[in-house]
Amino acid sequence: RTNFYAEQGGQVGDNGFVTTPTGRFEVEDVQKLGDAILHVGRVVEGRVECGQATNLEVGDARPHTMRNHTATHLMNWALRKVLGGEINQKGSLVDAEKTRFDFTHDKPLSAEEIAEVERLVNEKIYSDLPVTAVTTPLAEAKNIPGARAVFGEKYPDPVRVLLIGAETPKDATLETSVEFCGGTHLPRTGQAGFFKIIGQE
């Protein structure tokens, strides 16, 4: 058990420190291996022994990663609004510095389309909407209006669903961002601050 997030679903793993009575371990990355969570790093003070009580401290990058992850979900929703529902997510990279979002589309976005995506995302941010994670049976989750999943990805049953703009699945509409997601997110969209697309390639 750990409060560190292991890299998955496009979100990078946490960093931080594990402190024991005899030493301090710097966590540089966190990875999942089967059901185990691997804390990758090095001992920076003293020594660390098996069976010790530990204090786990997630690093300062987590809040910035949360901002970018919530913004990624809003961008996915906005892209479908602007370009049509046929676009599909093909991957992403979310860290403390940025979000990169890979999706299917047959041509580059125009300046007008980019501006409209930015406007829609920032409108959701400024509305300070609730961001709610719920766990629900997979079959029910697939029937939530507007629900999105990454094609080809395997999801557990029950699945964790992230709602932006609704507090329960019954409140969700096509204006709600609804995605299957195990990542870390803001409690409210207003904490994202401001969204800007700085590149397209």
Is the pLDDT at 150 greater than 90? The verdict is no
Q: Which residue has the higher pLDDT, 164 or 150?
A: 164
Task: Give the pLDDT confidence score for residue 146 in this predicted structure.
Answer: 87
pLDDT score recorded for residue 77: 96
Mean of pLDDT values over 71-95:
93
| pLDDT higher than 70, residue 28 | yes
- Of residues 185 and 91, the one with the higher pLDDT is 185
Q: Which residues of 89-100 are buried (b: 16+ CB within 10 A; e: fewer)?
A: beebebbbeebe
Examine residue 158 and say whether the peptide bond preceding it is cis (omega within 30 degrees of 0). Answer: yes
pLDDT at 20 over 90: yes
Mean pLDDT of 45-69: 97
- Residue 152 has a pLDDT of 67
30 has a pLDDT exceeding 80: yes
Distance between CA atoms of residues 155 and 179, nearest Å: 11
Binned at pLDDT 50, 70 and 90, residue 151 comes out as low
Average per-residue pLDDT in the chain?
A: 95
Of residues 129 and 174, the one with the higher pLDDT is 129
CB burial string 107-123: b at 16+ within 10 A, e below: eebeeebeebbbebbbe
Angle ∠(137,12,44) on CA atoms, nearest 5: 125
Calculate what percentage of the chain has a pLDDT beyond 70: 99
CA distance 99 to 46: 37
